[in-house]
Amino acid sequence: GAGVSQSPSNKVTEKGKDVELRCDPISGHTALYWYRQSLGQGLEFLIYFQGNSAPDKSGLPSDRFSAERTGGSVSTLTIQRTQQEDSAVYLCASSLLGGITDTQYFGPGTRLTVL
């Protein structure tokens, strides 16, 4: 497809389990971003990739959160030992060159529920 895709669309897990969330950016987009949307915190930045490198990881809330990007394309966000406060919608976005004013195109998100 032409847009950003994310999988799964919904994920229910038990507290303490690890989860992996996947993002497929728009083909040719060099920059990729992860955000989290929750009722209590609103929309928060997590991490930004330029190519396969992550120059800005400042938004990752704890060392349980990690992300990687391979081949300058697909990215995976991993949450280890999930906690109930990790429940949120995880949004991925991509932009063509990662410029400051580049439009970020968002995927539909993955809704994570931690029981």
Partner 1 sequence: AQSVTQLGSHVSVSEGALVLLRCNYSSSVPPYLFWYVQYPNQGLQLLLKYTSAATLVKGINGFEAEFKKSETSFHLTKPSAHMSDAAEYFCAVVISSGSARQLTFGSGTQLTVLP
70 sits near partner 1 (criterion: CB under 8 A): no
Distance from C-alpha of 15 to C-alpha of 83, rounded to nearest angstrom: 5
Q: Which of 19, 23, 24, 35 binds partner 1 (CB under 8 A)?
A: 35
Per-residue tokens: 83: 């906690």
Q: Which of 67, 82, 107, 114 binds partner 1 (CB under 8 A)?
A: 107
- The span of 21-29, 62-70, 75-83, 98-106 binding partner 1 (CB under 8 A) equals 98-106
Q: Do 7 and 96 touch, CB atoms closer than 8 A?
A: no
33 sits near partner 1 (criterion: CB under 8 A): yes
Q: Do 96 and 29 touch, CB atoms closer than 8 A?
A: yes
Contact residues for partner 1, defined by CB under 8 A: 4, 31, 33, 35, 42-43, 45, 48, 55-56, 59, 91, 93, 98-101, 103-109
